[in-house]
Structures are given as C-alpha cells and as structure tokens.
Structure 1
C-alpha cells in the first residue's frame, strides 16, 4: 500500500508489519475460539513460516493469494497452489486475487481450486465496477464464486475501509441486515490494518486508510466479534461454507 502513495518500504519492513498484524489477528481469533480463512501469497508463506504454522496449528484455513502480491500471471494460479500445499501439507482449494482484480474463472478451475473469492460486487472508483455481478455465492465455470459481502439494494461494501471509517454501531447494523438478507457474511481485512498506520511520513496514507488502525483496530474487531457472537452468529472458514452450500 505505501507504494501506491509514492512511499518506499523495504521488503523486511513489509514482512515485519504483516507478521505482527497476522499475530494480532490470530490472538483475537484464539480469544473468541473462532476460525477464519487466510489468503496468503507464496512469498509471505515462505518468509513467515512461524506464523503460517501457528494459523495451521489453530485449524484456520490457508488459501492462495497468488505467488506475488504485486505481479500476476495465469501460471501463478497452479504454481502458488502447489507451493502452498507443499508448505502446509494440506489441500489448497481457495483463491483470492490481490486487490480483488479480475481473474479468469476457467483458469482458476484448471489450476485445481474449488472456489474463488475475488469479487467485491460494488463500485469502487478507480478500482473496479462490479455492479452487474451477483451479490451472493454462485457457481460458474465449475467452481464456487464467493463475492465479498455488500449491503442489499445499495450494495454498500462491508470491506475493510468501511470497518475503519463507519461508527461501529452503523457497521454492525449493516452487517446485521446483510446477514438477514443473504444468510451469511463474507468480510475481509489485511494484517497491516492491525498495526499503527498513522505515520504519514513513513506510509503516506490518507486519514481514511489509517483511521482506527493498530490498537484501535484490534479493539474494534474484538468488540465486533463479541457482538456477533452475542447474536448467536456462527463463524467458519470459506471451505466449510462451500461444503454447507
């Protein structure tokens, strides 16, 4: 992300921030005894073996986020799956394209995946316009497509930026009405959000990116999960979800 704001950040710093953030996420999930799906690039998995082992030992799902985060070729679909399987000794069945960019569903199927979660079915200026895509899980090209959750009617995205910027009570309300309509929520976050991003000189982030990051993000996520558990929502991985459906 800093590169998008014309800031240099070393590979070592990228890894340190991502590892620290992932451990914060795992701490929260351990506290609430719930499972999640982690989409990892091969580069991250190769350079963060301890945190990958921790998430696997905790029975979370490991899925593919490609080989690199900054470059993609269709050959990376099968290659990333193969390498992540070797690292984890588990079958890797899910894929998510970095930055939710388009990916050929036929190529995803041919690479051996059972589901793809690379669609945010809304309009994000300068990123993508997926207003014509289905809002909820559907099957195409022989694989499940699991779009990120957006609200009914207006398709307001429930992704990470909304979580940072909306009052938590509003985000919970949007989550509740979306869950009631669709029967599930598929929301996503990044490890670096759970670290302090307010150093503008270092990261160059505008306020809407760095807002409620670090400790505040950890506290908000803890509260959010607690609220959903109180409402008797169940939690699970995406592989469990497609098996239910």
Structure 2
C-alpha cells in the first residue's frame, strides 16, 4: 500500500534560516497548502494521513474536520512545532480527538526527532512514524535502525521509506530535487522490496517558496515548490495507479496488515 502523509503545522521553518514571519502568516501559508493538497487528493481519489499539531488544529478546526469528512486519517504532530515536552503527547492527542470526534492512534515528532517510546505508549498511541532511517549530515544518523516496521516499548515504529541498500531518503526534499524518473524508480524499487511505501511531505511545499528575502530558503528547499510540486505529486500518484498500487491511511494499512500489539 502507498502511504502518503503530510505534516500539518504552523509554518515556522523560516526560523531555521534566520527569518521571522508572523503567526497569522504561518497559519495562512499552511492553510493554503493544505487546501491544495485536499483538492488534489479528492481529484485523484486518494486517502492520506495528516499529522497535525494541536496549535494548527485549534487555529483551523474546520479544515481538520474536512480531512475527516474526506476520509483521511488525522494523527498527532505534537502540540507545537518548535516546542516539546512529554505532556504534549497526550494533550495534542486530546485536542485532535476533540475536534475530529475520532481516536488518534498515530504520532510523528516534529522534524522527525527522537522521542521517548515509553512516553508515546503511555499517551495511548499505537504507532510512531518519527524515524528517517538514513544519514543526513547535521540531521539524522539512523543507518543502524531498521528500514521497515518494528516494535519498540509497545509502540509500532513505522520509519519513513528509504531505498534498499543505499538508504536514499524518499522524503519531501527528494521529490523536490531528484529527477522525476529517478524518484519514481527509487519508489518502485523500494515498494518491491518492502511491499509498502511511507512517504511524507508538508503543505507549505505546495506554495511558492522562492522569495529568499522573506523565507531565507536555499535552492534545494524552494526548488519545484508551489505549482511545480503539485504537478510532481500528481505525476507520482498517477505512476503508482498505473502499476495498480493501492493507497490508504496508515491506520487502514495496519488494520489490513493484521498488525497486533507486542505480547
């Protein structure tokens, strides 16, 4: 199954590059990108998982409800995107459940950073998708972590997909920068090896990020953003459909895979 997921948050990434934008604009940019994604997914008749911060959800509750109405899964991305304490695991879950009226069973830590699995379990999550099992200088060094699903401290770990052997990451930056033929090749090769793909992106990628004075992003972040990102995403989805591959939410995938809790 193809698992598309989107990390929905207050758009605070410019802070990493020494730029400041107002909270209202952070929410507005993420909202605009999310609306593009939802329209595209509806057009393609594809279901996805949205990892949302409680802060964004409280600012745009109707948009979160629209995700549920469209058949998507809502999972937790923490309470804030740039601030974390263990209590946020439960508090973000409760906020999202209050808005969606549905159980929230999945978690993804902001920026795919490490998180205490015992605390994840205590907060009542079934799965955690916070591992990028690759090496990126200054960000990740997870080459010794399993590429595929495994259990830890009573929580199912669902790492982001990386290619076999070389562990080339298939995350958002890869779709921006790899030639499309190469990105699709890596995705299909990884699917054949693992029988599923766990791919993640962000709503702000579907807006124009080329204003360097405003956002401060290097070219590898802003490249193929906005309309170009939408075209790439649709091309990717169509290539999966042409091979007869199914899409679904992470919870649907786990249910169909008959994943059972650790004994």
Contact 2:65 2:99 in 1 (8 A): no
Deviations 1:122-159 (A, max 9, x none): 01111121111100011121121000000000000000
1:68 maps to what in 2? Answer: 80
Residue 90 of structure 1 is aligned with which of 82, 93, 102?
102
Residue 27 of structure 1 is aligned with which of 39, 43, 49?
39
CA distance in 2, matches of 1:9, 1:34: 32
- Compute the displacement of 1:244 (Å): 2.1
SS at match of 2:196: coil
2:182 maps to what in 1? Answer: 170
CA distance in 1, matches of 2:181, 2:40: 20
Matches within 5 A, 1:98-177: 98-177=110-189
Q: Which has the higher contact order (CA 8 A, sep 6+)?
A: 2
CA distance in 2, matches of 1:112, 1:242: 16
Contact 2:161 2:171 in 1 (8 A): yes
Aligned residues: 245
Residue 250 of structure 2 is aligned with which of 235, 238, 245?
238
Gaps of 5+ in 1: none
Contact 1:144 1:242 in 2 (8 A): no
CA distance in 1, matches of 2:242, 2:64: 30
- Compute the displacement of 1:241 (Å): 1.4
2:227 maps to what in 1? Answer: 215
TM-score (normalised: structure 1)? 0.99
SS at match of 1:144: strand
RMSD value, Cα: 0.7
| Structure 1 stretches of at least 4 aligned residues deviating more than 3 Å after TM superposition | none
SS at match of 1:15: helix
2:205 maps to what in 1? Answer: 193
CA distance in 2, matches of 1:119, 1:61: 19
CA distance in 1, matches of 2:140, 2:175: 19
Contact 1:109 1:143 in 2 (8 A): yes
Contact 1:85 1:91 in 2 (8 A): yes
- Compute the displacement of 1:50 (Å): 2.3
